[in-house]
Amino acid sequence: MKIAVIGAGAMGGATVEGFIKSSAFNNEDITVSDPSQLVIDKFAKQGISVTTDNNIAAEGADVVIVCVKPWLVEEVLKGIKDSLNPEKQLLVVIAASVKAASIQEWLGQQCPPLFICIPNIAIAQLASMTFLVPVGTEPSQTATVKGIFDELGQTIITDEKHLSAGTALASCGIAYAMRYIRAASEGGVELGFKANDSKQIVMQTLLGAVKLLEASGMHPEEAIDLVTTPGGLTIKGLNEMEHAGFTSAVIRGLKAGM
């Protein structure tokens, strides 16, 4: 399967990094198109086919992934319109708030089976939480594209109505998780640990929490009950966080990101 990634900025570049790390893809089957010489030189050194011409990238691909800033999507899609083959290709657009109806209008009859896709930057480490919206596709086509992104983390098939919520929870959400890591790490320094040691402690603690929930299937509150004893330190700390509005702040932040 030949894949073209048009636009290798932050998210597009992270997606390509994921393809490179995954054993499911051959570097020579990936083409990257980007206007930046630095970007294409970087990927060329890793055996990726590169070009500054979006049409060249699109013409030879089975799956065309367009990953540019939302305000550039129309220009890029119209620019490759004549290079797309609706009978043989699949189109994936990674861009927040771009509607499927707009894409179909821009491309008209040249629009291949379409997927709106929102991953997060952990895709570079094969750990993305990706949301995928199939638009007028066959089950086999959906399975193909889901299979691609399953190699780069976990993928949820959803509809366009829920895409903004998924973006807030996972795409914006990874930044919220980073902010917690930063805050807890700074707290660790105040408690007496060196900065790097504190960050490592917090990251391993979060990793352990995730693995515990995955292995046990417990609700987070069940797991919390395992470590809160009457009059103990954990419940005192949790209550102080709640007095400061921890849960409310998280929920308000998620809703603000929609």
Alpha-carbon 173 to chain mean position: 10
Q: Where are the domains of the chain?
A: 3-159, 173-256
CB-based burial of residue 216 (10 Å sphere; 0-12 exposed, 13-18 middle, 19+ buried)? exposed
Q: What is the DSSP letter of 168?
A: I
- Token representation of residue 3: 């894949």
> What average pLDDT score do residues 194-220 get?
97
- In the chain, the amino acid numbered 161 is K
pLDDT of residue 257: 83
- Token representation of residue 236: 């005192």
Q: Dihedral sign, CA of 209, 210, 211, 216? A: positive
Distance between CA atoms of 33 and 57, rounded to whole angstroms?
6
- pLDDT tens figures, 68-110: 999 999 999 999 999 999 999 999 999 999 999 999 999 999 9
- Token representation of residue 85: 């083959």
Tell me which CATH homologous superfamily contains domain 3-159. Answer: NAD(P)-binding Rossmann-like Domain (3.40.50.720)
CATH numeric code, 173-256: 1.10.3730.10
Those residues whose C-beta lies under 8 Å from the C-beta of residue 82, and which sit 6 or more positions away, are 55, 110
- Token representation of residue 180: 């917690």
> What average pLDDT score do residues 151-163 get?
97
